[in-house]
Amino acid sequence: MTTIKVENLSKIFKKGKTEVRAVDNISIKIDSGLAFGVLGPSGHGKTTFLRLIAGLEEPTSGYIYFDDEVVSEPRRVVLGPEKRGIAMVFQNWALYPNMSVFDNIAFPLKLAKVPKDKIESKVKEVAEELGLAGVLNRYPKELSGGQMQRTAIARALVKDPKVLLLDEPFSNLDAQIRESARALVRKIQRERKLTTLIVSHDPADIFAIANKAGVIVHGKFAQIGTPTEIYEYPATDLIARLTGEINLLQAKVIENNAVISNLKIPLKNVELKGQNNVVVGIRPDDLSLSDTPLDKYVDVGTVKIKLVSYGAGIFKIVVSPVADESVDIIVDAEEPLEAGVETHLLVKIGKIKVFDQSGNNLLA
């Protein structure tokens, strides 16, 4: 399998007189057999980074190595995409509409002039792996979204690539099948030990598949770590938002508490550096509503229920501190509560994130 190494990689696009630094001096190693996930806001360089790795763009500066071989160098793609042993799956799947599923999957092997009987056995093997054996004679327009996507993955895998590159592979799928599609890609990646790069704006895609992840902001990795590290210890408030739903609340610091109206949140393991104002970050699933104490939670004060909605198996409850109804806090709950009711807001101990006014995490 292949280790991908990137050294001081930059890509600058020129738009008239202005320059866009899409990828800005990135150095990173993706170990052989691992799945690396790239998250980031729109337009910050995720796709450009992936296209550089694929050999579809030449770097403005810097190097890319596949194992010890230079595959891209400044202003030159040394080894083209077809010679890199990569397979790519894009958002739109790009199936050939006038070819059957069999022929779509077989296409890369035909291009490579693989003998007919070998093509037949290989296509059948991959179709089996991806649950497509029953639809090989169908055409793309006769497939469900999930089957189309699996056909695109099968076509990508049929040449036994060493590296898998995925760009927003699940965003065209219905929410219900997205989950199983992620699980399938994860299984294949782990079983085949494919060095994988997955790019998505959806943290759920990254968390389902990646062993390690990075967040690209303005063409640079703002944070790299395991998905859990990034989710639990986001380096900035922006990263906290990109990795999942979070309440970001302006608070005053009074005697080692973050005070939001009548709510008092104890600050532990925080280097306040003399700040009087902080932003407290709490994910909705780290909050609970209860009139009685709960183990592993701290009661931070009385809130009033404003709004209750239901979706994807949980209730989203919007509450406000009783003394200031302009502050909204979202709480995930298993049970609904009536709007207007007052109760206590409880925060899971150890899950509070604290940022300074510039958005930097203050956790020690």
Which residues would be at the binding site for ligand ATP (CB under 6 A)? Answer: 13, 15, 20, 22, 40, 42-48, 201
User: Would you list the DSSP string of 332-360?
Assistant: EESS---TT-EEEEEEETT--EEE-TTSB
CB nearer to ligand ATP: give 201 or 304.
201
- Alpha-carbon Rg for the chain, nearest whole angstrom, is 24
**What CA–CA distance (Å, rounded) separates 1 from 196?**
11
- Report in angstroms how near the CB of residue 15 gets to ligand ATP at its nearest: 6
Q: What tokens does 78 get?
A: 């040394």
CB of 186 to ligand ATP, least distance (A): 22
CB nearer to ligand ATP: pick between 48 and 149: 48
Residue 73's beta-bridge partner residues? Answer: 76
Identify which of residues 44 and 178 has a Cβ nearer to ligand ATP in the complex: 44
Q: Any residues with CB less than 8 A from the CB of 122 and at least 6 apart, and which?
A: 109, 114, 158
What's the min distance (Å) between Cβ of 315 and ligand ATP? 31
Question: Looking at beta carbons only, is 46 or 122 nearer to ligand ATP?
Answer: 46
Least distance from ligand ATP to the Cβ atom of residue 59, Å: 13
Closest contact distance (angstroms) between CB of 201 and ligand ATP is 5
Q: How far apart are CA 197 and CA 38, in angstroms?
A: 7
Write down the least CB distance from residue 46 to ligand ATP, Å.
Answer: 4
Q: Tokens for 233? A: 């210890």
Residue closer to ligand ATP by CB (options 43, 80) is 43
Strand, coil or helix: 157: helix
Structure-block tokens of residue 63? 């190097």
* Least gap, CB of 48 to ligand ATP (angstroms): 3
In angstroms, what is the minimal distance from the CB of 22 to ligand ATP?
A: 3
- 3-state secondary structure at position 153: helix
In the complex, the smallest distance separating the C-beta of residue 306 from ligand ATP, rounded to whole angstroms, is: 33
Pick between residue 242 and residue 278 the one whose CB is nearest to ligand ATP: 242
> Which DSSP symbol is given to 244?
S
What is the Cα–Cα distance from 114 to 102, expressed in whole angstroms? 15
The answer to whether 127 and 204 have CB atoms below 8 angstroms apart is: no
Instruction: Give the count of beta carbons closer than 10 Å to the beta carbon of residue 14.
Output: 9
- Phi and psi at 55, nearest 5°, equal 90, 15
Is residue 25 a contact partner of residue 86, using CB atoms and an 8 Å limit? Answer: no
Which of 57, 129 has the CB closer to ligand ATP? 57
Residue 251's contacts (CB-CB under 8 Å, 6 or more residues apart) are 258, 259, 260, 265, 277, 278, 279, 280
Cβ 45 to ligand ATP shortest distance, Å: 4
197 neighbors 163 (Cβ within 8 angstroms): yes
Considering beta carbons, is residue 53 or 280 the nearer one to ligand ATP?
53
Q: The sheet that has 297-311: what strands, in order across it?
A: 287-289, 342-348, 297-311, 314-321, 329-333
Which is nearer to ligand ATP, 14 or 113 (by Cβ)?
Answer: 14
For ligand ATP, the closer CB: 15 or 113: 15
